[in-house]
Structure 1
Amino acid sequence: MKKIRLWLVCMWLAVFNVLHAQQDSLQISLLTCSPGTEIYSLFGHTALRVQNFSRNLDVVFNYGMFSFNTPHFIYRFIKGETDYQLGVIPYVYFEAEYAERGSSVYQQVLNLSAEEKQTLLHLLTENYLPENRTYRYNYFYDNCTTRARDQIERCIKGTVVYPDSFPNRSFRSIVHEFTVGAAWGELGIDLCLGAEADTPIDKRQQMFSPFYMKEYASGAYIIGDNGQRRPLVLKEEKVVDVAPAETHSSFLSPLWCATFLLAISVLIGWWQWRRNKICWIWELLLFGAQGIAGCIIAFLFFFSVHPTVGSNWLLILFNPIPLLYLPFMVYFSVTRRKDWYHVVNMVYLTLFIVIFPFCLQEFNLTVLPLALSLLVTSASHVLVLSKKQ
């Protein structure tokens, strides 16, 4: 505890010294970190570096600090109520952390006047006050990248003009650019995002992504209050150059597993037909899993404040109804009574699969064999009962 307090005191002294530096000895840079291998680091990271050459101080203001040990972290994250913090750490620690995880770091030195640097430092240190450092994180609209961009824009005496936006981009398409090789993570994200994630977004919205922000900053320029024009970035360099950590793509991809599940469903359906018997345990497992997935998507749809999740058409396929009906389904299967649920489910799933290519929402291809597995199971149930009759 004493070490923590000492470290905090040292950081406050470092920030104080930076603020009282000679104006010509300051340099402020935008840092962009390459993606890591963990799900929360797949999209890279953004921070601001402040160097005071006259006092030999070098610190990083990082809006991406959070803790998994926060009470009810998982629940708050799903509900969209995750709180992040602004942290200040020595640059050498920041550099070592990203070098160790195999992430390169790109530095863009900002072309700011002495007054603008002082203003930006004041904004950052004001944000670092205990009562200001915590903020409600929003992945698409208020994250470590957008916070850094907004503070830079606030300090500038004039207007920042960014280059033309990248065409045909949506939140989902940008996410997919950084989930290559992380198929399970991509599937999880796709299951949560709704149709709103597939609408075209403008350049400012595209800047939620650290590397998109980096590209926009490279081509941006400032039109000062006096009408003079200058580039936003003075120079660029790679300050941490490491080989990226090896990523091992899983042989068991989501699509492969879903296709295997479909094959198992067909085999069990054929076995039921030949034996003239319904395997109620299989229905219990399959429709139970559908209902559990539906509970998660329904919770996101109705209760989460995450952006885009409230327009998720997958609620048609994954909802809590199968889980609620499961006891009745098992009862009808064990007693060999006709269950109209499977008849309705056949029609329902067939319609879903037919409209699948025409939805306004982009579905992960893995959803198709999952829906077919459910359809085959309901169809085999109806056929077996029809055969008995």
Structure 2
Amino acid sequence: MRFLLLLCFLIGLSPLRAQQADSIQFSLLTCAPGQEIYELFGHTAIRYQNFTRNEDYVFNYGMFSFRTPNFVYRFVKGETDYQLGITPYIYFQAEYAMRGSSVYQQVLNLTEAEKQKLYDLLRENYLPQNRIYRYNYFYDNCTTRARDQIEKAVAGTVVYPEQVPASSFREIVHHYTDGFPWDEFGIDLCLGAEADAPIGIRQQMFAPFYMKEFASQAYIVSADGSRRPLVASETKIVDVEPEPVESSFPLSPFACASLFLALNVCIAWLQYRNRRIYWGWDIVLYGIQGIAGCVIAFLFFFSVHPTVDSNWMLMLFNPVPLIYLPIMIYRAIRRKKDLYHGVNLVYLTIFIVLFPLCGQKFNLTVLPLALSLLVNAASHVLVSRKRTE
């Protein structure tokens, strides 16, 4: 009986011993950005290689599906769920090579015990009850998840460089949206003043290439005080030329907004000359303003996305014009005086003057848009005065 118990114990230990005896390597993978909006910031994953068993897999915390029910609504509200996936490296490599994104590998300088612990952590994360997580693009994403698992596996403390350039979430976002002006404009409209606050090195690691740079300078301090680099070596394992950036629209947002301002000036002049308000144009102008305001108001009051609840753009784009639009049109058709435009004229003037002082950096495209609304409000006031002369 004792012999059978001992035999079962040894058989149970054999997989663990085989695992420990295997030649294992873990690497941090950083993938270059693509052209889709969800690819602009690049990507991070963890590569597991078992040379003894000829296993080569990628643990990827960036898996999601557009087919998820109510995906767009959940994404806007900040309730998007991502999950950890395991992909054979050959497929992972082929995907990024076809997309035109290079992949950089940083081999982690881990002990055998740390490799075993990291392997166990990743396998535990992959359990059905653990693999899905609530994605947060600044605080809990594919990069921060990979970093956290590596830090948990280390027998000691990972120390990152202390002196790093001051930055903010918006500045890092702009670094990656350079060359994609429409994407940058859309993101800027959604991010609030919190995105312009200075952030430390740990918060900057939400961006894959920032994490790559900091990891290359980091070191591990063991319990006995000894130090070793976190990264043993770095190589470029997928070396491809990125596809040329194709602009989605020939004109930039600022150019379009400037043309829109010029159009408003022309319409305002015609209204003043003819002593007539073109209420059809009010439907277009205030309808667009109100719809944009509904989106920003929803983000401000209901979304759990970070930084959107401190967005001063709500002062310019809000649902009020859309709600008041029927009354505005009725008064314009009946040629009745409407105090809304006088109040709006003063309000917009104050907004344009004081907005740069609110602590939030705004996209320059906002200025001609605000001036367009200002010109329209001024034309209403001038036409009303001219009729009473």
Aligned to 1:221: 219
Structure 1 stretch displaced more, 285-294 or 160-169: 160-169
| Offset, 1:22 | 4.6
Question: Is 1:332–2:331 an aligned residue pair?
Answer: yes
Counterpart in 2 of 1:305? 304
Query: Match of 2:25?
Result: 27
Give secondary structure in 1 for the equivalent of 2:360: coil
- Partner of 1:21, secondary structure, is helix
The whole-number CA distance in structure 1 between the counterparts of 2:357 and 2:124 is 50
**Residue 10 of structure 2 corresponds to which residue in structure 1?**
none
CA contact (8 A) 2:28 2:108 kept: yes
Partner of 2:369: 370
Aligned match of 1:46: 44
- Alpha-carbon distance between aligned partners in 1 of 2:64 and 2:344, rounded to the nearest angstrom: 43
CA distance in structure 2 between the aligned counterparts of 1:21 and 1:115, rounded to whole angstroms: 11
Equivalents in 1 of 2:29, 2:106: separation in Å? 6
Q: CA deviation at 1:381?
A: 1.2
- Superposed CA RMSD: 1.2
Residues 199-210 of structure 1 aligned to structure 2 (within 5 Å): 199-210=197-208
Amino acid at match of 2:381: V
Q: Note if contact 2:20-2:116 (Cα within 8 Å) is conserved in structure 1.
A: no
Q: What's the secondary structure of 2:174's corresponding residue?
A: helix
Q: Distance in 2 between matches of 1:129 and 1:208?
A: 24
Give matches, 1:1-389, under 5 Å.
21-249=19-247, 250-389=249-388
SS at match of 2:49: strand
What percent identity do the matched residue pairs reach? 68
- TM-aligned CA deviation for residue 165 of structure 1: 4.5
Using the TM superposition, give the Cα deviation of residue 168 of structure 1 relative to its aligned residue in structure 2, in angstroms. Answer: 2.1
The question of whether the paired residues in 2 share the 8 Å contact of 1:18 and 1:57 is answered with no
Displacement of 1:19 in angstroms is: 10
Q: CA deviation at 1:251?
A: 2.1
Q: Which amino acid aligns with 2:234?
A: E
- Residues 22 and 51 of structure 2 are in contact (CA less than 8 Å); yes or no, is this contact kept in structure 1? no
3-state DSSP class of the match of 1:71? coil
Contact residue 104 and residue 238 of structure 1 kept, 8 A: yes
In the alignment, is the contact (CA less than 8 A) between 2:169 and 2:204 conserved in 1? yes
In 1: Cα distance, 2:344 partner to 2:16 partner = 66
Q: Which has the larger radius of gyration?
A: 2
**Residue 194 of structure 2 contacts residue 310 of structure 2 at CA under 8 Å; is this kept in 1?**
yes
Say which SS state the counterpart of residue 179 (structure 2) adopts: coil
Report the CA distance between 1:167 and its aligned residue. Answer: 2.2
Q: Where does the alignment leave 5 or more consecutive residues of structure 2 unmatched?
A: 1-14
C-alpha distance in structure 2 between counterparts of 1:260 and 1:140, whole Å: 35
Give the length in aligned residue pairs: 373
The normalised TM-score by structure 2 is 0.94
The amino acid across from 1:117 in the alignment is: K
CA deviations on 1:256-292 (whole Å, 9 max, x unpaired) are 1100100000000111112221111111100111001
CA displacement at 1:54 relative to structure 2: 0.9
Please tell me the residue identity of whatever aligns with 1:277. R
Measure, in 1, the Cα distance between the counterparts of 2:334 and 2:187: 40
Is the 8 Å Cα contact of residues 24 and 114 (structure 1) preserved in structure 2? no
TM-score (norm 1): 0.94
Return the offset for 1:356: 2.5
My pick for the range that moved more, 78-87 or 160-169, is 160-169
Tell me if structure 1 keeps the 8 A contact 2:22–2:53. Answer: no
1:20/1:285 Cα in 2 relative to 1: closer, same or farther (>3 Å)?
Answer: farther
SS at match of 2:199: coil
SS of residue in 2 equivalent to 1:69: coil
* Secondary structure in 2 matching 1:213: helix
User: Shift of residue 83 of structure 1?
Assistant: 0.3
Letter in 2 for 1:288: G
Is the 8 Å Cα contact of residues 30 and 105 (structure 2) preserved in structure 1? Answer: yes
Is the Cα–Cα contact under 8 Å of residues 290 and 321 in structure 2 kept in the other structure?
Answer: yes
| Deviation by residue 1:170-214 (Cα, 9 ceiling, x = unmatched) | 000000000001111111111111000000000000000000000
* Structure 1 residue runs without a partner (length 5+): 1-16
Q: Aligned partners of 1:20 and 1:305: how far apart in 2?
A: 46
Q: How many Å separate the matches in 1 of 2:259 and 2:183? A: 19
Give a deviation string over 1:300-322, Cα, whole Å, max 9, x none: 11111111011001111011100
Whole-Å separation in 2 of the counterparts to 1:291 and 1:71: 27
Contact 2:33-2:43 within 8 A present in 1 as well:
yes
Shift of 1:248: 2.2
* Cα offset, 1:130, TM superposition: 0.5
Deviation of 1:21 (Å):
3.2
**1:307-363 deviation line (CA, Å, top 9, x unaligned):** 101100111101110000000000011111111000000000000000122220000
Contact between 1:19 and 1:118, CA under 8 Å: does it hold in 2? no
Structure 1 position 218, deviation (Å): 0.3
CA contact (8 A) 2:190 2:296 kept: yes
CA offsets, 1:233-271, max 9 Å, x none? 000000000001110234211101100100000000111
* Matched-pair contact (CA < 8 Å) for 1:272–1:279: yes
Cα distance in 1 for partners of 2:21, 2:328 equals 74
CA distance in 2, matches of 1:168, 1:368: 27
Report the CA distance between 1:24 and its aligned residue.
4.8
